[in-house]
Structure 1
Amino acid sequence: MTKLSELMGMLHIDCEDEREILGICDHSGHVKKDEIYVCWRVLEEKKQSYIKQALSKGAVVLCDKEKPGKDIYVCECVEDIAQALIELYYGDLCKDIFVAGVSGTNGKTSVTSYLSQMLHICGKEVMRIGTGQVTFLDQIIPISNTTPDCFELAQLFHTANMLGLDGVVMEVSSHAIDQNRINFIQYDIIIYTNITQDHLDYHLTKTHYRFTKFKLRRYLKTDGLIIYQKDLKEMRDFAYLYHGASLTIGMRDAHMVLENIQLSDHDAAFIFDHIPYHTHLLGMFNVYNIASVIAAGRRLNIEVSLMQKACEQIKAVAGRMEVLKGKGYHIWIDFAHTPDALLNLLQFAQSVKRRNIITIIGCGGDRDKTKRAFMADIARTYSDIAIFTSDNPRGEEIHEILYDMCTNAGEHVEIFENRSFAIKHAVKCARNSDIIIIAGKGNEDYQMIQHHYYPFSDRDIVKKRLCEEENH
């Protein structure tokens, strides 16, 4: 804890208030008594209501432009007040723990999960921060963003330090990089999964999206390491930009080479840097994911024999290539919601299929519309039956989204606006040795329609339908 007078003094602000500050927050609804509420660059028409709400809770307000008053302080000399406050209040949050950041269009959640699992199996305890939740020890804390805001992140890092955890493993979104949420963080390891197309509703162009991801390199510790796949053509630009310490993985001409890859519908085996590994995870993309995790483990000086055993024990993330068994057929539930992720998923299914592939796919509303036709074409091309349905339509009409998907619908395409009906129909149509792929939502437990959240789980719908099938 720090006295308010000391903290303000370090910002060159006169203050004689000796109270102990208990935290920092930039949300007037969440701030607590004796915390600092940072009211920075907010809309003028909302500023006064935010300040009033924070003061009513007993918080101290720090503004960029405002008339000073009781418990209201003004700082105009600091460009990044968030980074300044975090460093002044908490100190260096990354000094005594290792920090691994995982970024990319697809695979962030899987890689952070696999790395956290491997480290736990090998005797290290970490905090994992990612899509939907923060996990550490036996605790699970829900979060709304892939990467929380800077003050929430700082509190999580502070918790990791206070608990004596070995490190933090976190997903890093392009939004977080662009909005400076990670400015106080210095990474020991950065892993890039891939960088294709996503979030063009926010970044507007592929170039801005890609180079926002590349900016993450600026947050590496001086002795840090960046790990990426040399096989990915989109990473060639990064190789030209970055000349620091890096470790590449790939099928050829990489620092650590993948060889003798054997894939099936229930496991994978491969040789990586001359060492054999086996995993119960599915698909070539998971081979790359595990290889990235092994490379990180080598950097952290984990014994190879321990990592070999850990690979055998690592479990798939719920909703990421999650497999359920029907009567003679399999159902894969996966979060694939971009063209690249769906293509990789369906190409793998084609390589191991014994009969038909039935794919259920939708596209999110109020998001990048340009990918809808691509998603539909991929599903149609690589499936024996493609079923187009709703995903999270948000504020858009479902039929309008489906219209965008059906530009080149072709044969073997069926359309159901109701996702539950689509899943039940696919299960009803499945025969021995078929693979049903339900893509797009993964482990989500809701569907957002007209900006309202409704309980919905692909897994629950499948299990209910399989139970009905069993009883008949």
Structure 2
Amino acid sequence: MEIDLKTDSRKVKPGDTFIAIRNVNRDGHDYIPQAIKNGATKVIVEEGNYDVETIVVEDTRAYLKDYLYKHYYPYFKDMKLIGVTGTNGKTTIGYMMYQMMTMLDIPCAYMGTIGFYYCGNFIKMVNTTPDVDVLYEYFIKAKDAGCKVLVMEVSSHALAKDRIYGLEFDEVAFTNLTQDHLDFHKTLENYANAKQLLFKKTRGKKIAVINGDDPHALHFELEGNQNLLISDQKGDVLIQNIEFSHLGTTFTFKYQEKEYQTHIQMVGRYNVYNYLTAMLLIHELGYEINTILALNTKLKAPKGRMELIVCGTNGIFVDYAHTPDATLNVLESAQEFKKGKIITIIGCGGDRDTTKRPIMGEIACKHSDHVIITDDNPRTEDPQKIINDILKGVSGDYEVINDRHLAIAKGMSLLKENDILMILGKGHEDYQIIGTEKIHFSDQEEVEKYIREHTHD
């Protein structure tokens, strides 16, 4: 099935209808001539009259959302829909669930930061949660491919901008809430309220899995949902006895008066919460806990989430941490199993929340033996201004190397015996955005290249 309304004039084929959507950076009305040239036989607009059938409506975006919901939602509404929100952990949970369901032979899909995976297919994505027309298009692809369950990351932007219009969720999950995206939401309260909207869109059993140890947990325990809390103090799932190594984490948990011990090939206390969230969501689909635990030997973290590269006795971890909380989590995790020194490479993205920059600099210095401050994705902002903002929070042993390539090479050169190098901020990304240009750049490739060039037989 294909959506017969197009918002992108480049995708218009003969006989299609083009709808002109106004965005902050683009007005679809400017592309109507191109859409008609490509074969559009009808246009839906907010103003004007054109050479093809023209329908004028007050708000084309509202019209589009209603149209999609009425004409296409019934096609895929029988798929089980699971939504995961929170500042950190969404990708890890979503990707783990996709792996688990695939191993359990459940035809499934996962949509999030690292892409759209559906029944063995893959599409690269621009946004964590795409706009409503692309979202519905992906849901249709999943349904066409035979998917029975779809798990998706649901960003605060998507919730605030109603990109998930019309969708209802069988299961929802909350990971944590820490400072991020305040350039958009302005206050932490607005940020929390945006994420809470997901928990008002439940259906069926209304399963809500919540990190009970997050200070904002109560905000997501809505009446009417079946709330299941994960906690190391008091919750439906009680975490006990966590043991770390650089190869993974062993822990015990209690659920419904039964005790379980398991091992995951991921490091960090926060990943215990991520894993248990994924496990519980799968369990609530009707699968025994022991059946799910048996999958752990094949379960992998998503690319760029504490991704380990071994170099002699040293461990290099590449992680997407780009918020204060995520930075603290990964560095505290490294402290749990370090034998030598921790060297951290960190930067911050341009044209984004500036208030978190000195906080991240402070955290990096406090939990590392040496810090290298470098560029991330400066975008259209002056890279030196970004670094100056980070420097407001730093102290102790640090240096500035703007060029990320040189920064990684320096970090690698400092490794002695049993040291850890943390390369933070970009994770799975294989590019840098400098100005408006996207340039190929991969932290992993830089590390592997250095190892090749400096390792002698």
TM range (shorter): over 0.9
Counterpart residue type for residue 162 of structure 2: N
Separation of aligned partners in 2, 1:427 and 1:47: 48
How far residue 237 of structure 1 moved from its aligned partner, in angstroms, is: 2.6
**1:149-174 deviations in whole A, cap 9, x for unaligned?**
11111111112222221211111111
How far residue 137 of structure 1 moved from its aligned partner, in angstroms, is: 2.6
CA shift in 2, pair 1:101/1:48, >3 Å:
closer
Separation of aligned partners in 2, 1:73 and 1:99: 34
1:188-207 matched pairs, under 5 angstroms: 188-207=170-189
Counterpart residue type for residue 66 of structure 2: A
Structure 1 residue aligned with 2:251? 270
Separation of aligned partners in 2, 1:40 and 1:340: 36
Structure 1 residue aligned with 2:11? 30
Q: Using structure 2 for the length normalisation, give the TM-score.
A: 0.94
Alpha-carbon contact 1:391-1:447 (below 8 Å) kept:
yes
Counterpart residue type for residue 279 of structure 1: I
1:179 to 161, 169, 183: 161
CA shift in 2, pair 1:409/1:87, >3 Å:
closer
Q: Using structure 1 for the length normalisation, give the TM-score.
A: 0.91
Counterpart residue type for residue 12 of structure 2: V
- Classify the secondary structure of the residue corresponding to 1:194: coil
1:68-87 matched pairs, under 5 angstroms: 70-76=52-58, 80-87=62-69
Alpha-carbon contact 1:189-1:296 (below 8 Å) kept:
yes
Please state if 1:238 is matched with 2:220: yes
Structure 2 residue aligned with 1:169? 151
Which segment is superposed worse, 435-444 or 402-411? Answer: 402-411
2:241 to 247, 253, 260: 260
Counterpart residue type for residue 104 of structure 1: G
Which segment is superposed worse, 347-356 or 93-102? Answer: 93-102
Counterpart residue type for residue 337 of structure 2: V
Structure 1 residue aligned with 2:229? 248
Alpha-carbon contact 1:64-1:76 (below 8 Å) kept:
yes
- Classify the secondary structure of the residue corresponding to 2:193: helix
Which segment is superposed worse, 63-72 or 367-376? Answer: 63-72
**1:430-470 deviations in whole A, cap 9, x for unaligned?**
01110000000001111111221111100000000011121
CA shift in 2, pair 1:63/1:222, >3 Å:
farther
Alpha-carbon contact 1:25-1:152 (below 8 Å) kept:
no
Alpha-carbon contact 1:41-1:64 (below 8 Å) kept:
no
- Classify the secondary structure of the residue corresponding to 2:225: coil
How far residue 343 of structure 1 moved from its aligned partner, in angstroms, is: 0.3
Structure 2 residue aligned with 1:10? none
How far residue 103 of structure 1 moved from its aligned partner, in angstroms, is: 1.0
**1:363-408 deviations in whole A, cap 9, x for unaligned?**
1111111001000000000000011111001111211111111124
Counterpart residue type for residue 118 of structure 2: F
2:445 to 450, 453, 460: 460
- The unaligned stretches of length 5 or more in structure 2 are none
Structure 2 residue aligned with 1:364? 349
Separation of aligned partners in 1, 2:359 and 2:437: 27
- Classify the secondary structure of the residue corresponding to 1:188: strand
Counterpart residue type for residue 72 of structure 1: T
Alpha-carbon contact 2:44-2:60 (below 8 Å) kept:
no
Structure 2 residue aligned with 1:423? 408
Counterpart residue type for residue 237 of structure 1: H
Please state if 1:312 is matched with 2:293: no
Alpha-carbon contact 2:202-2:225 (below 8 Å) kept:
no
Which segment is superposed worse, 33-42 or 181-190? Answer: 33-42
How far residue 43 of structure 1 moved from its aligned partner, in angstroms, is: 7.9
1:55-204 matched pairs, under 5 angstroms: 55-59=36-40, 60-67=42-49, 70-76=52-58, 80-204=62-186
CA shift in 2, pair 1:372/1:91, >3 Å:
closer
CA shift in 2, pair 1:33/1:130, >3 Å:
farther
Structure 1 residue aligned with 2:210? 228
**1:43-90 deviations in whole A, cap 9, x for unaligned?**
899454222222222222112444476222123499832332112322
Please state if 1:406 is matched with 2:391: yes
How far residue 293 of structure 1 moved from its aligned partner, in angstroms, is: 0.8
1:32-51 matched pairs, under 5 angstroms: 32-41=13-22, 46-51=27-32
How far residue 234 of structure 1 moved from its aligned partner, in angstroms, is: 1.8
Alpha-carbon contact 2:209-2:230 (below 8 Å) kept:
yes
Counterpart residue type for residue 118 of structure 1: M
Separation of aligned partners in 1, 2:297 and 2:25: 56
Which segment is superposed worse, 356-365 or 214-223? Answer: 214-223
CA shift in 2, pair 1:252/1:43, >3 Å:
closer
CA shift in 2, pair 1:409/1:31, >3 Å:
same
Separation of aligned partners in 2, 1:228 and 1:177: 18
How far residue 200 of structure 1 moved from its aligned partner, in angstroms, is: 1.3
CA shift in 2, pair 1:95/1:65, >3 Å:
same
How far residue 199 of structure 1 moved from its aligned partner, in angstroms, is: 1.0
How far residue 345 of structure 1 moved from its aligned partner, in angstroms, is: 0.7
Separation of aligned partners in 2, 1:251 and 1:141: 37
How far residue 222 of structure 1 moved from its aligned partner, in angstroms, is: 4.1
- Classify the secondary structure of the residue corresponding to 1:320: coil
Separation of aligned partners in 2, 1:235 and 1:91: 31
Separation of aligned partners in 1, 2:309 and 2:23: 47
Structure 2 residue aligned with 1:448? 433
Which segment is superposed worse, 212-221 or 458-467? Answer: 212-221
RMSD, matched Cα: 2.1
Separation of aligned partners in 1, 2:25 and 2:420: 55
How far residue 175 of structure 1 moved from its aligned partner, in angstroms, is: 1.1
Separation of aligned partners in 1, 2:60 and 2:23: 16
